[in-house]
Amino acid sequence: MRAAGVRQFGGPEVLQIVDVPPEPLGHGEVRLRVAAATVNPTDTYARQGAYAERDPVKTPPWVPGMDVAGTVAEVGEGVEHLSVGELVMGIVVPTGAHGGYREDLVLPADSVVPAPRGADAVAAATLPMNALTARLALDAMGLQPGQVLAVTGAAGAFGGYVVQLAKADGLTVVADAAEADEELVRQLGADVIVRRGDDVAGRVREHVPDGVDGLADGAVQDALVLPAVRDGGAVATVRGYRGDGRRGVRVFPTLVRRAAKDRAVLDRLGRQAEAGVLTLRVARTFPAEQAAEAHRLFERGGVRGRLVLTF
Ligand SMILES: NC(=O)c1ccc[n+]([C@@H]2O[C@H](COP(=O)([O-])OP(=O)(O)OC[C@H]3O[C@@H](n4cnc5c(N)ncnc54)[C@H](OP(=O)(O)O)[C@@H]3O)[C@@H](O)[C@H]2O)c1
């Protein structure tokens, strides 16, 4: 079976087409014929070997990828909600050769839901992982309608979904943007836009002098963003930052892999995409053979919408 994987960790050039055996199908699992897999930041870290220590599989190839869409090829015992031939999307917790960048992929059925109606596989693949992370981040902070949320990295995949979900939750959203991204971030629904950068916290305070109730840090600015938050406010981080323990600010490191089997939430996100609450943003597609080129482009920064590998 075809996959885009690595035999040794390194730069984009190590990503190649590798042959992997089909995965066995167990109880409560589904086999997908993957048509599309998105390129996410975590895939580039995986390619470089950042997770090699914690991955119990020590033999190559390693196949990155946490977001897929495609058709159901086979349904395991005990799976009621999916049927063969259906267009679906799913979230993958990669380990060894089990990752999203492969044409044959077996997933827990609870990690797979129908693709939003009207979306093709490429568009659907951009939803599961980042929208789920955005939902988790918002739920962890537990803000109430009318409260104020700041979002950094708002033009990105995670940040964009946070902005849209937060608006749907009735929050007021202050989002950062480079000048070139202002229109995009406004269209996502941000109420107030501040210029991105190291001094983003100060700019947020110019609009919200007492500090925001919550902040989702998609730009991974960690300590730099804490001053934007009021005493006792909340911050959701996405790369493990735990805060400095001061001013009663509660910091919630978000880890999407823990929620990868939360089918009800995934399904709701799919329906929100159908309803137009969430926008599926595709920058460009690459045949899986060009995965290295896709990683190269992604790592340069500035890509808006997701790059998607097709199989
Ligand atoms: N913990 C989890 O479960 C989890 C799940 C999903 C995502 N994540 C993490 O969340 C982060 C965001 O992911 P993503 O997919 O949304 O990435 P993305 O689409 O690349 O978005 C990141 C955004 O932040 C901007 N940015 C980067 N550095 C910045 C800085 N210093 N100041 C201001 N803006 C900056 C980027 O702009 P440029 O493109 O111009 O650099 C981009 O607009 C990644 O680190 C990812 O690994 C974690």
User: Whose CA is closest to 279, among 112, 119, 87, 39?
Assistant: 119
pLDDT at 246 over 90: yes
pLDDT of residue 57: 86
Tens of pLDDT, residue by residue over 284-306, are 999 999 999 999 999 999 999 99
- Looking at every residue in the chain, the average pLDDT score rounds to 98
Cβ of 256 less than 6 Å from ligand 1: yes
Tens of pLDDT, residue by residue over 145-195, are 999 999 999 999 999 999 999 999 999 999 999 999 999 999 999 999 999
Cβ of 201 less than 6 Å from ligand 1: no
Q: What are the tokens at 42?
A: 């975590």
Tens of pLDDT, residue by residue over 106-127, are 999 999 999 999 999 999 999 9
- What CA–CA distance (Å, rounded) separates 2 from 269? 29
User: Whose CA is closest to 238, among 252, 259, 227, 224?
Assistant: 252
pLDDT at 138 over 90: yes
pLDDT at 226 over 90: yes
Percent of the chain at pLDDT exceeding 70? 100
User: Whose CA is closest to 91, among 134, 151, 155?
Assistant: 134
pLDDT at 101 over 90: yes
- What CA–CA distance (Å, rounded) separates 111 from 156? 23
Residue with tokens 């079976």: 1
- Taking CA atoms only, the protein residue closest to ligand 1 atom 32 is 197
φ, ψ (nearest 5 deg) of residue 239? -130, 35
Across 218-234, average pLDDT: 98
Distances in Å between the alpha carbon of 141 and those of 61, 188, 202, 276? 38, 21, 21, 24
What spacing in Å lies between the alpha carbon of 158 and ligand 1's midpoint? Answer: 7
What number of residues does the chain have? 311
Percent of the chain at pLDDT exceeding 90? 97
Which residues are CB-neighbours of 56 under 8 A, at least 6 positions away?
95, 96
Q: pLDDT tier at 99 (50, 70, 90 boundaries)?
A: very high
User: Whose CA is closest to 123, among 189, 161, 68, 166?
Assistant: 68
pLDDT at 56 over 90: no
Q: Please list the alpha-helical segments (H only) found in the chain.
A: 41-47, 121-125, 128-141, 157-168, 182-188, 200-207, 263-274, 291-299
Helix (H, G, I), strand (E, B) or coil at 119: coil
What spacing in Å lies between the alpha carbon of 42 and ligand 1's midpoint? Answer: 10
pLDDT of residue 209: 98
- What CA–CA distance (Å, rounded) separates 284 from 277? 22
- Taking CA atoms only, the protein residue closest to ligand 1 atom 44 is 41
pLDDT at 58 over 90: no
- What CA–CA distance (Å, rounded) separates 76 from 79? 6
- Taking CA atoms only, the protein residue closest to ligand 1 atom 11 is 218
pLDDT at 55 over 90: no
Cβ–Cβ under 8 Å, residues 224 and 239: no
- Taking CA atoms only, the protein residue closest to ligand 1 atom 20 is 156
What spacing in Å lies between the alpha carbon of 265 and ligand 1's midpoint? Answer: 22
DSSP states of 166-210? HHHTT-EEEEEE-GGGHHHHHHHT-SEEEE-STTHHHHHHHHSTT
pLDDT of residue 135: 98
The sign of the torsion formed by the CA atoms of 188, 191, 194, 198 equals negative
User: Whose CA is closest to 119, among 270, 258, 264, 15?
Assistant: 270
